[in-house]
Structures are given as C-alpha cells and as structure tokens.
Amino acid sequence: MTIQKIIDTYLEGWKLGDGELSLSVTVDSFYYDDPNRGRIQRHELVQFVEDFKRAAVELGAKKKANPFLIYSDVVTDYNTSPVTVWCWWQVNGTDFQGCALVKVGETGVLQEKIAYFSKLP
C-alpha cells in the first residue's frame, strides 16, 4: 500500500467515524495523543473514536452524521521522514474543531497528536 493510500484510508476512517477503518492502517506501536485523555494506545483507538462521537453528540452533532468530520485543510509534507500530515477538522453540525498532526511511515500510521480549538469567552 502506498503512503498516500495509508493517509487517505486513515483520514477516511475519521471522516466517517469508523475507528476500525483508521485502525486498519496503523502500525502495532501506533499511539494517539489527546490533550484531554492523554496517550491512547492502538488497542484503545476504536473505543476512543466511539467515545469521541458520543461527546460530539453531547455538543450538538447528529448521532449518525455523515460525514462525522469535515476537513477544511489537509497538508502533507513528503519531504519529512516519516511523512507529516496536518489537517484542520470540525465535527459536522457543531463548532467543535481542532487540528491534527499525523506521522506516517511506509508500513502505516505511526502516531497522531491533536489539539482542540475553542473561542475565548
């Protein structure tokens, strides 16, 4: 599988809210860093996605929103090793949004770190 196909599959899983799809292109040592939950190991990703979707519903998202996430920007830097992907995402139907930094190697997604965006009071 090409690196671009790995990236597309991983982001599509998040876009659809399908943790299994995103998980399918991660390496065994994959981890996900969330500022609220801390480091999430690979075996916890699918449950994390489900919890994330439930939290989004509490913020006003529809239960079966399609797509779940909307990407307004995706930037890929192939000049780094591993490849770096940055994207801005928003939960469909809400103001819940943030950015993600994803590191991708030839064998799969290595890690993702996210940050949440909110308006100041």
Fold of 3-117: Nuclear Transport Factor 2; Chain: A, (3.10.450)
Name the residue ranges covered by the structural domains of the chain.
3-117
* Whole-number Å distance between alpha carbons of 90 and 37: 19
What pLDDT is recorded for position 41? 98
**Beta bridge mates, 91:** 69
Q: What is the pLDDT of residues 18-64, one digit of tens each?
A: 999 999 999 999 999 999 999 999 999 999 999 999 999 998 888 88
What is the pTM (predicted TM-score) of this model? 0.94
CB atoms within 10 A of CB 114: 17
